[in-house]
A and B are shown apart, each in its own frame.
Chain A
Amino acid sequence: MSQISISHRSPYKLSRGHKMVRRTFLKKTIKLFFFVVSSISISVFFLFSYPWKIRKKELTFFYVTDEDMLPVKGVRQVSIEYSRYSRPMRTKAYIVNTGSELFALSPVCSHLGCLVNWNWPRKRFLCPCHGGQYDITGNVIKGPPPAPLSRLPMKIDKEKVYIGLRV
């Protein structure tokens, strides 16, 4: 260390208008090298870990029940079985008949995605996670959900009922 001639003045102060000494040059080169290597490594890490394919979810209609099994007035739960990545999956949906209107409701709570349950005595959809409550048409009555339950596309074809899901 003591043999280096610049030891009595700091090499950091030799920036503008001075000749760059060898030590400063080396330090800057090493810093640049590490900067380049680490930025390349970080980019490679993100390229590597980002999923290489992201599948578009497509709207598919599933047979759920026959037309004569639809509720006359009230709510009926139907279950839908499908396969995702060749694994069997199961979900549910609610078919609601208010008397004037017939529609299908998604059970996915608009708050954080738990599945709500129909509580028949209270005539409400209750979310088990954070106490969200919806009325029979899916509008929020109480709790944290920011939006009503979403409606699912439903079609009746030759006395069979189909519900559309994005899977």
Chain B
Amino acid sequence: MGEIFDWIDNRFGIRQPHRKFLHRDIPEGVNYSFCLGGAALVCFIMLFLSGIMLSIYYVPSETEAFNSIVRINNEVRLGWFIRSFHKWSSNLLIISIILHTIRVFIYKAYRSPRELNWVAGSLTLVIVFASGFTGYLLPWDQKAYWATEVGTSMAKTIPIIGKYLLYLVRGGEDVTGTTLIRFYAMHIIYLPSCLFILLWAHFHMVRKQGIKGGL
């Protein structure tokens, strides 16, 4: 195994940059709360993997969405497990990313030279919330429907542009199958792609600027 990897890496050369990235100096005064960002990353990876598995069986259509969820839960082998895994990982991701934000705030790690990284992190937080919100509609049951009805109607309260923003988000006047497909596309393509770019930027800046030490 090691020899095969060596053969590949002698040509591909991925080990050296990763070693540079992963083996870095840790300042004094760090503690376990500095692991919260890593915990969020692990949650994101788990969500990504369980999400691409669920996408095999989920059908984003007005008539079939709920039925496909029932099928995943009751008939697909380990379907209940993967769906619960996705659900609980999403909860854990939101919890750990909020705690991570609080930790950064308390340790004043948003100050120069890390302002841009704080911005990238905040955008990540917003996109994670959006992912959670769009994912909530996908089971297409009563709870999901009304949560989306209420959640999207918040957009209407914005002066002047609110109405048009609401139509944009819902893909029409009401929450319908169009909204479902919109949210599905957001949930599985648009938002994860943004997250990948943002996380890459986030980790790049963590590497360049180093970890802020204790208080």
Where the two chains meet, the residues of A that have a C-beta atom closer than 8 Å to any C-beta of B are 1, 41, 44-45, 47-50, 52-53
Q: How many A-B residue pairs have CB under 8 A?
A: 23
Interface residues of B in 25-79 (CB under 8 A from A): 25, 49, 53, 56, 75-79
B166 at the interface (CB under 8 A from A): no
Which residues in A have their C-beta under 8 angstroms from that of B53? 45, 48-49
Interface SS, B side? loop
Indicate if the CB atoms of A52 and B76 lie closer than 8 Å: yes
Number of residues from B at the complex interface, CB < 8 A: 12
Q: Of residues 65 to 106 in B, which have CB atoms within 8 Å of A's CB atoms?
A: 75-79, 81-82
Contact indicator A44/B23 (Cβ below 8 Å): no
Knowing A41-B49, A45-B53, the reply to whether A52 touches B77 (Cβ < 8 A) is: yes
Taking a contact as CB atoms under 8 Å apart, the answer to whether A47 and B49 are in contact is no
Q: Which of A48, A52, A53 has a CB less than 8 Å from the CB of B82?
A: A48
* Set A1, A50, A52: member contacting B75, Cβ < 8 A: A52
Q: Separation in Å of the A55 CB from the closest CB of chain B?
A: 13
B54 nearest in chain A by CB position: A48
* Cα–Cα, bound, A49→B76 (Å): 8
Of the residues B23, B25, B76, contact of A48 by C-beta under 8 Å: B76
When the two chains form the complex, which single residue of A41, A45, A48 contacts B79, counting CB atoms closer than 8 Å?
A48
Return the chain A residue nearest B24 by Cβ: A1
User: Chain A at the B interface: mostly helix, strand, loop or mixed?
Assistant: helix
In the assembled complex, 15 residue pairs joining A and B whose CB atoms fall closer than 8 Å, in A order, are A1-B23, A1-B25, A44-B78, A44-B81, A44-B82, A45-B53, A47-B77, A48-B53, A48-B56, A48-B76, A48-B77, A49-B56, A52-B75, A52-B76, A53-B75
**In chain A, what residue has the closest Cβ to B52?**
A45
Residues of A contacting B25 with CB < 8 Å? Answer: 1
- List of B residues within 8 angstroms of A49 by Cβ: 53, 56
A49, B82: Cα distance in complex, Å: 11
Q: Name 18 extra pairs, CB < 8 A, besides A48-B56, A52-B76.
A: A1-B25, A41-B49, A44-B81, A44-B82, A45-B53, A47-B77, A47-B78, A48-B53, A48-B76, A48-B77, A48-B79, A48-B82, A49-B53, A49-B56, A50-B77, A52-B75, A52-B77, A53-B75
Closest 8 CB pairs of A and B: A48-B78, A47-B77, A52-B77, A47-B78, A52-B75, A52-B76, A49-B56, A48-B53
B132 CB to closest chain A CB (Å) equals 23
Query: Which of B23, B75, B77 has the most chain A CB atoms inside 10 A of its CB?
Result: B77
- Nearest CB on B from A85, distance (A): 13
Report chain B residues within 8 Å CB of A47. Answer: 77-78
Chain A nearest CB from B85 CB (Å) reads 9
Chain B contacts of A48 at CB under 8 A? 53, 56, 76-79, 82
Q: Which residues of A contact B82 (CB under 8 A)?
A: 44, 48
Kindly list chain A residues whose C-beta atoms are within 8 Å of the C-beta of B76: 48, 52
Residue of A nearest to B49 (CB): A41
Task: List chain B residues, Cβ under 8 A from A41.
Answer: 49
Most interface-central of A1, A41, A48 (chain B CB within 10 A): A48
B20 to chain A, nearest CB (A): 12
Q: Distance in Å from the Cβ of A86 to the closest Cβ of chain B?
A: 14
For residue A41, which residue of chain B has the nearest CB? B49
Distance to closest chain B CB from A74 (angstroms): 46
Contacts of B49 in A (CB 8 A): 41
